[in-house]
Every structure is written in structure tokens, then in C-alpha cells.
Amino acid sequence: MNDEENLWPPALGHHPAGTVRRTELEALSNVRVVLEWCASGRLRCSAKTGRPTAASVAGLASLLAAGDFYRNEAIAAYAWPLIVQAAGLAELAGTRLQLTPRGHTALTAPPAGTIRSLWTRWVSHGVIDELSRVEEIKGQRSSNALTSVKTRRQTVAHALETSAAGEWVDIDHLFRRMRRGKLSPTVARSERAMWKL
């Protein structure tokens, strides 16, 4: 392990095509931050949708290891509250997320095991459909327009399982491999539904 690998928070690397983030290391820190915020009662979400409030997203983004991915578009800070809800580690009490008994256990457990269980639960129990944040895709609320989010997530999870452990994969390479292996998730339920989107 070289000196750069010992840095905490993880150092950002630069690549000709952009910035390299060691998200696997960031996640180990971030899961603890999110659980502590839930334990303190500072993480607020909509009682109706379960989505985090803008103030909670902004506050959480400032605490995440290496910050969020983009300055003007919260991704990680928006996702973490949804992920811990999907995993049953936190639940809404009014508009505040509070830890469940499982969440209290996770707060003191090794974070790698917690991350593993978060991923497993997200694949089958996500709180929202990720596509709902892409407002440019109109017609998502039409009946029978989108395929099951669970099915799409399972397809992506299966594609990721085909990647070699411990190796980085370029996203374009992953997408090409998914198309060749017929592992691209189907979004529209039918050709007719495609016209609704």
C-alpha cells in the first residue's frame, strides 16, 4: 500500500477523462455519518415520499467523505437517506429519520458488512425509482409505462456481478458488455409505452 492509499479521507485521483473517486473507501465512512445523523434526529424526509428535504441533503453533503459528486446536483446526499430506509436501518417518525434496532446494531458493526447488506436490500427494496429524478423523462407516471424497478435493479446487479472483483471497470466498457450479454435493463413495458415516455 502506498502513501496515497493511506490518506483519509481518500485522495481524489485525476484521470484524463475526469476525476477518479475511491467510493468504496468513502462509503465506509459515509454509512457511519448517515447513521449518526439519523440517531441524532437531524435527518429529515418528507412524511409522504420518504425523500430527504433540501436542508438535510445540503447538510449531509457537507459531511460526506470527499463531498458529493457534483457541486450543484446532490446524488450521494440524496441517495443515502433512501438507502438506509430501504435497508430497514432507519424509518420515518413524522418527518425525522430514526434508527431502527437493526440501525443501532449497524452503527457499531463493521461498516463493510453494513454496506454489503445495504446493496442487497436496495436491489429488491428501493424506496423510489431512480428514474423519477430524471425530470426530462416525461410520462413516467402513466400507467404501465415503466418496467418494474426491482427487475431493472436485478438486471444491473447481475451485470455488475460479472465484473472481476477488485478491478475498476470503465462505465462505457460495462455498458458495452451489458448490451452484448443482453443485460441492459428494459425501461419501457412495451413499444406503446415507449411513446408515453
Average pLDDT over residues 177-192: 85
Percent of the chain at pLDDT > 70 equals 89
The pLDDT value recorded for residue 15 is 52
Signed CA dihedral, 112, 117, 122, 123: sign only: positive
- Per-residue three-class SS string for 113-164: HHHHHHHHHHHHHCCCCHHHHCCCCCCCCCCCCECCHHHHHHHHHHHHHCCC
Residue 137 has pLDDT above 80, yes or no: no
CA-to-CA separations, 151 to 8, 60, 144, 146, in angstroms, rounded: 37, 30, 14, 11
Q: What is the pTM of this model?
A: 0.79
Mean pLDDT of the chain: 85
- Is the pLDDT at 139 greater than 80, yes or no? no
Task: Point out the least confidently predicted range of 43-47, 94-98, 145-149, 188-192.
Answer: 188-192
Buried b (16+ CB within 10 A) or exposed e, 131-154: eeeeeeeeeeeeeebbbebeebbe
Q: Give the C-alpha distances (Å, rounded to integers) separating 74 from 36, 60, 79, 133, 193.
A: 20, 10, 8, 11, 30
Task: pLDDT band for 37, please (50, 70, 90 cuts).
Answer: very high
Beta strands in 21-143 (DSSP E): 90-93, 96-99
Phi-psi region of 128 (alpha: psi -120 to 50; beta: other; left: phi over 0): beta
Per-residue confidence (pLDDT) for residue 5, from 0 to 100: 39
Residue 64, pLDDT > 70, answer yes
Question: Confidence band (pLDDT; 50, 70, 90) for 164?
Answer: confident
- pLDDT of 167 > 90? The answer is no
17: confidence class by pLDDT, cuts 50, 70, 90: low
